Structure 1
Amino acid sequence: MEGEMVSGVVGTPYYVAPEVLLGRDYGEKVDVWSAGVVLYIMLAGFPPFYGETAAEIFEAVLRGNLRFSARVFQSASASVKDLLRRMLCKDVSRRFSAEQVLRHPWVANA
């Protein structure tokens, strides 16, 4: 199944990647997106894309406006913020693969 493309909208609103919501074919990078959401939540205590309803969450995901609140992320390194930007990149062609995530200095030096 490696490299196989899938289609159909599935997933929990906070964790679903934009390409899934847009009805596009998708691959492993949707999992990188979801892992980026998990990492963000672990660091901040809340999801990167928020809404009161599933529809609002989906709209926020599609906007993909990733922010790092100075108050919340004041002690977070530039390296982890860089990794999050690369994992939560709306442009699938620019989003990191799982292998690239593992080679990122923040992960590799942990």
Structure 2
Amino acid sequence: MFTDLDQVISRFSELLSQISPLKGFFFIVFFFAVWFLPAIVAFFLNRKHFRKILAANIPAGLSWIAWVALLAWAVTGKMRGKGLEEQEGVKIDSTQAEMPTVKAD
């Protein structure tokens, strides 16, 4: 039983020794880019729940179902920031609009 494990470990160590440091670096960067893809998408799409998506992304990378759900949340989530109404095409109700203030001299 342990001989098979020893063989797997020795093959894996041989493969690692054959990889150049540059290829290893690019593999690690690519790996983390895919792992944190939902957080990256949420950041660039300016989503309101970016921090929650980033925090949930760490354990969700171990489950493809949770990872895909986070990716869907990142794509379809609410936007944050000022000017949201203009970006989404929502009309502001006249009762909610701010009235300009006039200063008396």
Q: TM-score, normalised by structure 1?
A: 0.29
Structure of greater relative contact order (alpha carbons < 8 Å, 6+ residues apart): 1
Higher helix share: 2
